[in-house]
Amino acid sequence: MNELSKINTLKGIGDKTSSLFLKVGVTTIGDLLDYYPRTYDVYEDSILISEIEEGKVATVTGAIFGRIQVGGNKNMQITSLLLKDISGTLKVVWYRMPFLRTTLSKGGLLTLRGKVTRKKAGLIMEHPEIFYPSQTYVEKRGTLQPVYPLTTGLTNNLVKKVMSQAIEFIDPKKDFLPEDFLGKYNLEQYADSRRNIHFPENKECFVQARHRLVFEEFLTFILSLRMQKKREEKYKNNFTFQQQPLIEAFINKLPFELTCAQKKVWEEIKTDMSSPHMMSRLVQGDVGSGKTMVAFLAMLYASLNGYQSALMAPTEVLARQHFETITALLNEYQLPLKAQLLTGSMTAKEKKESYCNIQSGKVDLVIGTHALIQEKVLYKNLALVITDEQHRFGVKQREQLAGKGSMPHILVMSATPIPRTLGIILYGDLDISIIDELPKNRLPIKNCVVDTGYRNTAYKFMEGQIKQGRQCYVICPMVEESEHLEVENVTDYTELLRDHFPPTIKVACLHGKMKQAEKDELMEAFGKNEIQILVSTTVIEVGIDVPNATVMLIENAERFGLAQLHQLRGRVGRGKHQSYCIFMSAAKSKETKERLEILNKSNDGFFIAGEDLRLRGPGDLFGIRQSGLMNFKLGDVFQDAQILKEASNAADEILEEDGNLTSEKYIHLAEHLKTYMAGYLIEKTL
């Protein structure tokens, strides 16, 4: 057996368990080893009662204050007590454990570890693990237990059990990184890193394992980018482009003037598209900087020259919105071109019609989701593909499209403000344009960072805005598909708001698990102000444009990365009305406050990203991930910036030594890269 063996060759895994693992994408032992813990249960040092943060697991040590009470009813007896330390007291309850009254009443110090939540009467620790006497905690202190992402039927214990078998099958001699690299970049061996990411003996082991895995993840990515770039430099531009006076006329008729930055980027795109080589360009610009307009100009340029162009959005909602904006522009300015929508959720009949229109050349601008590049779609003469918020439009997709005609020009639009030094590494295969200027006359968003005590005031404020005809977003953290639901559930929250606000205010809820048709319907209703408050997970984050929405309330803001919060905030401040963003945080720590205050001080995405980077140290172990930016499995572009730079240096070194990775030394690395690039499909990144 080896890493390519199916997991059902492991002991105790039958069809049922196999199918559970299949649901989370695990079929082989190798897949299983790549199924990293979502987080770890860390048995931390005790903290003071006054330092407890709502919603988090805490360990506290103290003495019992007053009497131990047993209440509730026969079916559910509730044991409660007050724990006291030098900083304060905390209410603690256990369910169905009435005997605790006797066992705990001997006096002396007690250590408790459990989740603390806010109830009507204040903070309360529910059903904690007990260490009594308190010294018994010493053994557990500092250990880490893996917590895996789960699905119904798949328990954490099951994954742990299977994983501990799987790591026995790793070949201890296996490694695709050459030995001298391990020493030079202080990396653990292949087998050790796999073992330690799943079962770290302590934090130090975890850090070492993670370091190696993040390094190899970045290195693989960077190497494939650079090799891809080398291949692409060969692609000749077979299209002919001529100046199109209609475009200049269109620009002159717009109710606003393009910003200097927009003009500059537009020139760069025009030059690229008529140069001897194919364009591969990234346009980076903050939310609201007017990227869509630039994308539209590029599409016009292609289509007025007689070619088709395609715009690919990451979600159906966004695709539909782009389609509507573009259709409206074509009509309003009487441009002699036709747009076509193509998304995965369209009916078979609609799709078929769409394919026909695309193949026959009846339509010029095609807008959609990744359905745009699937096999069934044949373009008549596609010359330009634009992706919105998708950074990994790889060589595969290009070739896929090229198989259907000529290689198209590629334009990638991104609102993710990545500091320049990192951008050069991460977008190594692209030329970069930056729109570093917002349209004039934009009212800057007013921000505030508040704690949960301010919630009712925030609701009042929202109500006031709604009375003036405006609309609001409320963002809750993601609903995780796991038994450990740590986050406020969006649907519950929606109910709560419905109760709170008068019935004239319509509250609706949007989340990733909803059917596409429902989402579309909802967004349309919100766009028409038939819904006043939209409660959502971060699915709202990319690109939605409802200028009448002026308030965004973000719950648990402390759980998001700053760059992500900034993107979320970009959903408001898009119209002529003053907009507001309320960051609500349940965390009391000074660091959290300081971090969130940055958003308060600045509306500049690049500045914010830079500050975020500065504030995160390597000590920030389980730091917030920036919404899986670039879709790395473990690595976080911000948090692991240092490793990213090291991996970039390593890649330079490797390619200098052996540009095609054909030598004996790099044979395993080349193999690894091949597998990686084969999996480098856009489907994977969605």
Q: What is d(CA 388, CA 358) in angstroms, rounded to the nearest whole number? A: 20
- Binders of Mg ion: how many residues, by CB under 5 A? 2
> Is the CB of 225 or the CB of 434 nearer to ligand ADP?
434
Q: What is d(CA 113, CA 44) in angstroms, rounded to the nearest whole number? A: 9
Residue 293 interacts with ligand ADP (CB under 6 A): yes or no: yes
Binding segment for Mg ion (CB under 5 A), chosen from 162-170, 212-220, 236-244, 292-300, is 292-300
Instruction: Quote the least distance from Cβ 545 to ligand ADP, whole Å.
Output: 5
Q: What is d(CA 79, CA 154) in angstroms, rounded to the nearest whole number? A: 31
| Number of residues that this document lists for the chain | 686
Among 156, 224, 262, 550, binds ligand ADP (CB under 6 A): 262
Instruction: Quote the least distance from Cβ 266 to Mg ion, whole Å.
Output: 16
On the CB side of 284, CA atoms within 13 Å amount to 18
Angle 305-379-324 (CA atoms, 0-180°, nearest 5)? 75
CA 157 to chain centre: 27
Instruction: Quote the least distance from Cβ 287 to Mg ion, whole Å.
Output: 7
Instruction: Quote the least distance from Cβ 292 to Mg ion, whole Å.
Output: 5
Among 545, 555, 558, 646, binds ligand ADP (CB under 6 A): 545
> Is the CB of 415 or the CB of 508 nearer to ligand ADP?
415
Among 200, 290, 368, 573, binds ligand ADP (CB under 6 A): 290
Classify 661 in phi/psi space as left (phi over 0), alpha (psi -120 to 50) or beta.
Answer: left
Q: Is the peptide bond before 133 cis (omega within 30 degrees of 0)?
A: yes
Instruction: Quote the least distance from Cβ 563 to ligand ADP, whole Å.
Output: 14
Among 17, 111, 228, 259, binds ligand ADP (CB under 6 A): 259
Classify 288 in phi/psi space as left (phi over 0), alpha (psi -120 to 50) or beta.
Answer: left
Pairing of strands 144-147, 39-42: antiparallel
Binding segment for Mg ion (CB under 5 A), chosen from 487-495, 511-519, 543-551, 656-664, is 543-551
> Is the CB of 567 or the CB of 639 nearer to ligand ADP?
567
Which of ligand ADP, Mg ion, none has residue 259 at its interface (CB below 5 to 8 Å by kind)?
ligand ADP
Under 8 Å between Cβ of 311 and 295 = yes
Could you give the 3-state DSSP secondary structure of residue 93? strand
Q: What is d(CA 92, CA 111) in angstroms, rounded to the nearest whole number? A: 12
> Is the CB of 361 or the CB of 547 nearer to ligand ADP?
547
CA dihedral 55→58→63→68, nearest 10 degrees, is: 40
Which of ligand ADP, Mg ion, none has residue 545 at its interface (CB below 5 to 8 Å by kind)?
ligand ADP
Instruction: Quote the least distance from Cβ 579 to ligand ADP, whole Å.
Output: 13
Under 8 Å between Cβ of 355 and 349 = no
The total of other beta-carbon atoms located within 10 Å of residue 375's CB is 8
Under 8 Å between Cβ of 534 and 508 = yes
Strand ranges inside 537-682, DSSP E:
549-554, 580-585
Residue 408 interacts with Mg ion (CB under 5 A): yes or no: no
Which of ligand ADP, Mg ion, none has residue 610 at its interface (CB below 5 to 8 Å by kind)?
none
> Is the CB of 194 or the CB of 569 nearer to ligand ADP?
569
Binding string, 439-458, against ligand ADP, x = CB under 6 A?
x-------------------
Binding string, 570-589, against ligand ADP, x = CB under 6 A?
----x---------------
Under 8 Å between Cβ of 536 and 474 = yes
The total of other beta-carbon atoms located within 10 Å of residue 463's CB is 16
Instruction: Quote the least distance from Cβ 411 to ligand ADP, whole Å.
Output: 13
Binding segment for Mg ion (CB under 5 A), chosen from 123-131, 142-150, 286-294, 473-481, is 286-294
Question: Residue for token digits 């596409």?
Answer: 516
Q: What is d(CA 128, CA 620) in angstroms, rounded to the nearest whole number? A: 26
Instruction: Quote the least distance from Cβ 603 to ligand ADP, whole Å.
Output: 13
Which of ligand ADP, Mg ion, none has residue 285 at its interface (CB below 5 to 8 Å by kind)?
ligand ADP
> Is the CB of 254 or the CB of 485 nearer to ligand ADP?
254
Element (H, E) at 474: strand 471-475
CA dihedral 329→335→341→347, nearest 10 degrees, is: 110
Among 46, 228, 280, 292, binds ligand ADP (CB under 6 A): 292
Binding segment for ligand ADP (CB under 6 A), chosen from 267-275, 285-293, 333-341, 629-637, is 285-293
Could you give the 3-state DSSP secondary structure of residue 285? strand
The answer for residues whose C-beta is within 8 angstroms of residue 313's C-beta and 6 or more apart is: 319, 322, 367, 368, 369, 388, 389, 542, 543
Q: What is d(CA 49, CA 85) in angstroms, rounded to the nearest whole number? A: 7
Q: What is d(CA 565, CA 59) in angstroms, rounded to the nearest whole number? A: 30
Task: Report how far apart, in Å, the C-alpha atoms of 115 and of each of 15, 37, 60, 91 are.
Answer: 36, 20, 11, 12
> Is the CB of 401 or the CB of 552 nearer to ligand ADP?
552
Binding segment for Mg ion (CB under 5 A), chosen from 231-239, 242-250, 285-293, 453-461, is 285-293
Q: What is d(CA 184, CA 95) in angstroms, rounded to the nearest whole number? A: 54
Q: Residue number with the shortest CB distance to Mg ion? A: 543
Residue 291 interacts with ligand ADP (CB under 6 A): yes or no: yes
- Binders of ligand ADP: how many residues, by CB under 6 A? 16
Binding segment for ligand ADP (CB under 6 A), chosen from 64-72, 288-296, 528-536, 609-617, is 288-296
Which of Mg ion, ligand ADP, none has residue 288 at its interface (CB below 5 to 8 Å by kind)?
ligand ADP
Question: Residue for token digits 């003469």?
Answer: 381
Amino acid at 85: D
Q: What is d(CA 409, CA 407) in angstroms, rounded to the nearest whole number? A: 7
Q: What is d(CA 610, CA 365) in angstroms, rounded to the nearest whole number? A: 37
Residue 30 interacts with ligand ADP (CB under 6 A): yes or no: no
Which of Mg ion, ligand ADP, none has residue 409 at its interface (CB below 5 to 8 Å by kind)?
none
User: Segment 642-681, which members bind ligand ADP (CB under 6 A)?
Assistant: none
Q: What is d(CA 161, CA 661) in angstroms, rounded to the nearest whole number? A: 38
User: Segment 329-368, which members bind ligand ADP (CB under 6 A)?
Assistant: none
Residue 61 interacts with ligand ADP (CB under 6 A): yes or no: no
Instruction: Quote the least distance from Cβ 450 to ligand ADP, whole Å.
Output: 26
Binding string, 217-256, against ligand ADP, x = CB under 6 A?
---------------------------------------x
The total of other beta-carbon atoms located within 10 Å of residue 419's CB is 18
> Is the CB of 292 or the CB of 309 nearer to Mg ion?
292
Residue 623 interacts with ligand ADP (CB under 6 A): yes or no: no
> Is the CB of 219 or the CB of 312 nearer to ligand ADP?
312
User: Segment 404-433, which members bind ligand ADP (CB under 6 A)?
Assistant: 415
The answer for residues whose C-beta is within 8 angstroms of residue 675's C-beta and 6 or more apart is: none
Residue 543 interacts with Mg ion (CB under 5 A): yes or no: yes
Binding string, 198-217, against ligand ADP, x = CB under 6 A?
--------------------
> Is the CB of 29 or the CB of 565 nearer to ligand ADP?
565
Which stretches of the chain bind ligand ADP, using CB under 6 A?
A: 256, 258-259, 262, 285, 287-293, 415, 439, 545, 574
Which stretches of the chain bind Mg ion, using CB under 5 A?
A: 292, 543
